[in-house]
Amino acid sequence: MNDSTGYERRDLNVRAVAWFMAGLALILTGIFVGLHYFQSFLNDGRPQAAAPISNTAPAPRLQSNPRMDLKAWRSAQEAELNRYRWVDRQAGIVEIPIEQAMELTLQRGLPARQPNASQGGPP
């Protein structure tokens, strides 16, 4: 150790650290400038409007009567599931109540695919 300087010069290259810091500052400045121009490109060159500042919070949007809302929604769903209506009159497609549709499905069964000979089905 050299007593005249107070530290060992061979452990730290001050010039290299200074150049590194200057380069880092230059790169960060370039990134910030590039992001600024990229944001203005995304905004089509328009300056971004500042949002109005309000000191009061907006009022909560609560349901005034959630039980009645739920009851009305459920009754609308029930009416939708239990009605008759034409879907396509020319094609003869009718919408029927869900209970009747389930009974017809139990009586008639579901359609099954026919095995295809090219897919290795039984002969």
Tell me: the pLDDT tens digits for 22-76?
999 999 999 999 999 888 888 876 666 677 777 787 888 888 899 999 999 999 9
Domain range list for the chain: 13-46, 77-109
Report the C-alpha gap between 50 and 39 in whole angstroms.
Answer: 15
Rounded to two decimals, the pTM is 0.38
SS3 of 35-50: the string is: HHHHHHHHCCCCCCCC
